[in-house]
Amino acid sequence: MYTTGIKHELMDHIDPVLFDDEQIAKRVREIGEQITTDYIGRDLVLISILKGGVIFTSDLSRTISIPHQLEFVGSSSYKRGNSPSGGVRITKDVDQDLEGKDLLLIEDIYDTGNTLYVIHELLKLHRPASIEICALLHKKKNHIHQLKMTYIGFEIEDQFVVGYGLDYQELYRNLPCIGVLKPEIYS
């Protein structure tokens, strides 16, 4: 299951594994090939959303065979009162003017949609040629913001998952697979 052969200590906290490293690599490659086809001749910039989207972005970028740039946007979500949706704070803006460029937002997971909505609005101000979204995971639930996902890695149920960039209290991002965090870890 793990081509690296590394026994990650925190794997004991995961049950079940939803997607192992080989399944992820295969799917990432498929998406990369699709993006390559769709963006030939265009001025593509991948906009990676920190921090959860970084591992996905770095793998995806290397499966895209046309020239493209990388940019990073930092975001952090917080709970507003007892509302489940909360707000989103931008912690890092892009480093260049993106006017006329073809932007592809790379996010770890489409959950409520708050993060993607706020960053999408921010990027529109640059007057890019286009903005599309690529999310590694799509949680099947009623999203607060309905957004068009041009590329989706995998659909999952509405449960808390970690690994391959996704964290719980800033840990688990380095796990090569994606899995459900055992409820006893956070309860």
Q: Does 108 bind ligand IMP (CB under 6 A)?
A: yes
**What is the per-residue DSSP string for 98-122?**
-TT-EEEEEEEEESSSHHHHHHHHH
Closest alpha carbon to 102 in 121, 74, 127: 127
Residue burial 132-144, b: 16+ Cβ < 10 Å; e: rest? bbbbbbbbeeebe
Of the residues 38, 97, 111, 158, only one is catalytic, namely: 111
Shortest Å, Cβ 52 to ligand IMP: 4
Q: Which residue's CB is nearer to ligand IMP, number 61 or number 77?
A: 77
H-assigned helices in the chain: 21-38, 54-61, 114-124, 183-186
Q: By CB under 6 A, which span of 30-38, 64-72, 106-114, 125-133 interacts with ligand IMP?
A: 106-114
Q: Which residue's CB is nearer to ligand IMP, number 103 or number 166?
A: 166
Contact residues toward Mg ion (CB under 5 A) are 167
Report helix, strand or coil for 3.
coil
Q: Is 111 a catalytic residue?
A: yes
Q: Does 57 bind ligand IMP (CB under 6 A)?
A: no
List of residues contacting ligand IMP (CB under 6 A): 52, 77, 107-115, 160-162, 166
Residues labelled catalytic? 111
